[in-house]
A and B are shown apart, each in its own frame.
Chain A
Amino acid sequence: MIQLIDVSKSFNSDSHTVHAVKEVNLTIREGEIFGVIGYSGAGKSTLVRCINLLERPTKGKVLIDGVDLTKLREKDLRAYRQKIGMIFQQFNLLGSRTVFENVAFPLKYRGRKKSEIRERVLSLLELVGLEDKANAYPSQLSGGQKQRVAIARALATEPKILLCDEATSALDPQTTKSILRLLKDVNRKLGITIVIITHEMHVIKEICNRVAVMEGGRVVELGDVVSIFSKPKAQITKEFINSTSNLSKIDELIKEKSQIVDLKAGERIWRLDFHGSETKEPIIVQLAKNFHIEPSIIFGNVEVISDTVLGSLIVLVKVDQEREQEVIKYLEEKQIKVEVIKYA
């Protein structure tokens, strides 16, 4: 378990002070995949470096399983860091060493036995699917393969925690997916707590259990991924969620006065949000039956997050003003959130 208690970090330059992280309180549970999302400059990279004290917090405590890392002596801290693996956006492999030597690097430094190192490295390379690349140099690998080597290296000393600093940001979507799958595997098989820093909402959506949204050095929203996606509160969270779906396109269409959203008298555009599990009823058909409303779908979006379906539809309906409230109430009883986007 990782606890950040009232953690602040500021950087002093000659002329001014930058407060990168401000009074952050977080508890990351054992064995979960925890995401931290924010735009660049939000302080998320600094925050993750506060966990292994690559950046020493100006204020606050960093507790890992109850041990306050800020109180450890340099030497003990270095020894403790074996228990916290870390991977980076730029992979940071040692270019003069082969894949095998890279993974063996932290073990060799700890003076482990040669036979033990060999066994461990080979099993790690098998785990990340790179057994055949043991003697290759990093320059001969693709980005995805490099990150796999970095993951193997980070796991070499059998850490309890794996910190991922924008680990997929330099990779293409396909490779990102396979790396995320690997991380999920690692989390499940080895029970390692994973902390992921990213600016991409789809990374969070793909593998995280819980997420903290950061803005201006503070955590502005925190929760499990499904509820963050279904009921975002902070403006910035909504922006991030919009970035993964095409739903925000409706605003553009309205702004551009597109023909599709050119409404006649009595017509409206609604946005319907529904949880998959709660909406097995044929809502559209019932609208037609009960209210003689025939919504036409402009477009929709479905997210599957931790086996929960989150759907949204943008529909065009023709309904009388008096009846509209009644219909909306009916839908909301069926756990469908209705938002009127545009009136005629």
Chain B
Amino acid sequence: MHSLMANYTPNLLDYWPEFINSIGETLQMLFFSGIYSYIIGLFLGVLLVVTREGNILENKYIYRALDIFVNIFRSIPFVILITALIPITKFVMGTFIGVKGAIFPLIMGCIPFFIRQVDMALSTVDSGLIEAAQAMGLSPLGIIFRVYLRESIPALARSITITTVSLLGLTAMGGAVGGGGLGSFVIRYGHNRFYQDITYVSVVVILLFVTIIQFIGNIVIKKTSH
């Protein structure tokens, strides 16, 4: 194994501890920014759906505010968003570099995307079900938990899968501006020093991550669809 790597991936071998460390950082960023994004995004996504015109908690102002927030943050390219957020990141996280500094912009970049995903997922719930639930005397909160969220579990699993894959992409981009992880590892060595083996192995690792995410997502979707 060692001689094989020495032959084909000599540079990777030299930077092996850093490589392993980078994978760990990527996973860290994915995990922490993911958790926060999903919790906050799910909350805001549900709020967006139920305050829409004609829905159970129709509220023009909340809906408009959320809609505009999502549209604005989704249209800013992530690399620029990171830079623009630096003062706030520094205030919130105490630093704007490294894994810690990357998590806040990752959350800000991921939430709007996830809100739209939640929006789409909840829209798969037939409005007839909402009406039936209302006729049975469910409260808005009851409808949100027992109908909207429960009925869209497969669709939400799909949303989380897609969002996680896209978040993985964002973590790599974070590397370009001083974050850690595989992204910055590849930029440092693969790109700046032109160690191609490092680039390709990292690609394989990322592909592996995506495959695993997709695999888990598919299992959940399959288990929860009837």
| Bound CA–CA A106/B151 (angstroms) | 15
Q: Can you list 16 contacts pairing A with B, beta carbon distance less than 8 Å?
A: A75-B139, A81-B134, A81-B137, A82-B137, A88-B128, A90-B126, A94-B129, A94-B151, A96-B150, A96-B153, A96-B226, A137-B226, A138-B226, A139-B226, A157-B136, A163-B135
Question: Shortest Cβ distance from A72 into chain B, in angstroms?
Answer: 12
Question: Shortest Cβ distance from B67 into chain A, in angstroms?
Answer: 18
B138: A residues at CB distance < 8 A: 78, 109
Convert A95-127 into 0s and 1s, putting 1 for each residue whose CB lies closer than 8 angstroms to a CB of B.
111000000011001000000000000000000
- Contact between A95 and B226, CB atoms less than 8 A apart: yes
Identity of the chain A residue whose Cβ is nearest the Cβ of B146 in the assembled complex: A109
Q: A137-B226, A139-B226 are in contact. Are A92 and B136 (CB under 8 A)?
A: no
B131 within 8 A of A: yes
- Contact between A106 and B137, CB atoms less than 8 A apart: yes
| Bound CA–CA A79/B139 (angstroms) | 10
Of B135, B153, B154, the residue contacting A81 (CB under 8 A) is B135
For the complex, would chain B's binding face be called helix, strand, loop or mixed by DSSP majority?
Answer: helix
Of A75, A79, A92, the residue contacting B128 (CB under 8 A) is A92
A95: B residues at CB distance < 8 A: 151, 226
A42 within 8 A of B: no
| Bound CA–CA A139/B138 (angstroms) | 24
| Bound CA–CA A86/B151 (angstroms) | 20
- Contact between A109 and B131, CB atoms less than 8 A apart: no
- Contact between B226 and A109, CB atoms less than 8 A apart: no
Identity of the chain B residue whose Cβ is nearest the Cβ of A86 in the assembled complex: B135
- Report the count of interface residues on A (CB-CB < 8 A): 28
B142: A residues at CB distance < 8 A: 109
A80 within 8 A of B: yes
A284: B residues at CB distance < 8 A: none
A90: B residues at CB distance < 8 A: 126, 128
List chain A positions with a Cβ less than 8 A from chain B.
Answer: 52, 54, 75, 77-82, 84-86, 88, 90, 92, 94-97, 105-106, 109, 137-139, 153, 157, 163
A163: B residues at CB distance < 8 A: 135
B224 within 8 A of A: yes
Of A52, A75, A109, the residue contacting B135 (CB under 8 A) is A52
- Contact between B136 and A54, CB atoms less than 8 A apart: no
| Bound CA–CA A90/B134 (angstroms) | 16
Q: A109-B142, A137-B226, A139-B226 are in contact. Are A94 and B150 (CB under 8 A)?
A: yes
B132 within 8 A of A: yes
Question: Shortest Cβ distance from A154 into chain B, in angstroms?
Answer: 8
B129: A residues at CB distance < 8 A: 92, 94
| Bound CA–CA A95/B132 (angstroms) | 13
Question: Shortest Cβ distance from A116 into chain B, in angstroms?
Answer: 17
- Contact between B131 and A54, CB atoms less than 8 A apart: yes
B147 within 8 A of A: yes
8 Å CB contacts to A: which residues of B96-148?
A: 126, 128-129, 131-132, 134-139, 142, 146-147
B136: A residues at CB distance < 8 A: 81-82, 86, 105-106, 109, 153, 157
A85: B residues at CB distance < 8 A: 135
B135: A residues at CB distance < 8 A: 52, 54, 81, 84-86, 163
- Contact between B146 and A88, CB atoms less than 8 A apart: no
| Bound CA–CA A92/B147 (angstroms) | 11
| Bound CA–CA A20/B57 (angstroms) | 23
Convert B193-226 into 0s and 1s, putting 1 for each residue whose CB lies closer than 8 angstroms to a CB of A.
0000000000000000000000000000000101
10 closest Cβ contacts across the A-B interface?
A: A81-B137, A92-B132, A137-B226, A86-B135, A78-B137, A92-B128, A106-B136, A90-B128, A96-B151, A92-B129
| Bound CA–CA A208/B147 (angstroms) | 33
Q: Which of A77, A86, A94, A97 has the most CB of B within 10 A?
A: A94
Question: Shortest Cβ distance from B211 into chain A, in angstroms?
Answer: 27
B147: A residues at CB distance < 8 A: 94
| Bound CA–CA A81/B138 (angstroms) | 9
| Bound CA–CA A153/B136 (angstroms) | 9
A52: B residues at CB distance < 8 A: 135
Identity of the chain A residue whose Cβ is nearest the Cβ of B127 in the assembled complex: A92
Question: Shortest Cβ distance from B119 into chain A, in angstroms?
Answer: 19
A94: B residues at CB distance < 8 A: 129, 147, 150-151
B132: A residues at CB distance < 8 A: 86, 88, 92
Known: A95-B151, A96-B153, A109-B146. 14 other contacts (CB 8 A): A81-B134, A81-B135, A84-B135, A86-B136, A90-B128, A92-B126, A92-B128, A92-B132, A96-B224, A96-B226, A109-B137, A109-B142, A138-B226, A163-B135
| Bound CA–CA A86/B153 (angstroms) | 26
Q: Which of B136, B138, B147, B226 has the most CB of A within 10 A?
A: B136
| Bound CA–CA A80/B146 (angstroms) | 20
Identity of the chain B residue whose Cβ is nearest the Cβ of A82 in the assembled complex: B137
Identity of the chain A residue whose Cβ is nearest the Cβ of B147 in the assembled complex: A94
| Bound CA–CA A94/B129 (angstroms) | 7
Question: Shortest Cβ distance from B147 into chain A, in angstroms?
Answer: 7
Question: Shortest Cβ distance from B86 into chain A, in angstroms?
Answer: 43
Question: Shortest Cβ distance from A15 into chain B, in angstroms?
Answer: 16
- Contact between A54 and B151, CB atoms less than 8 A apart: no
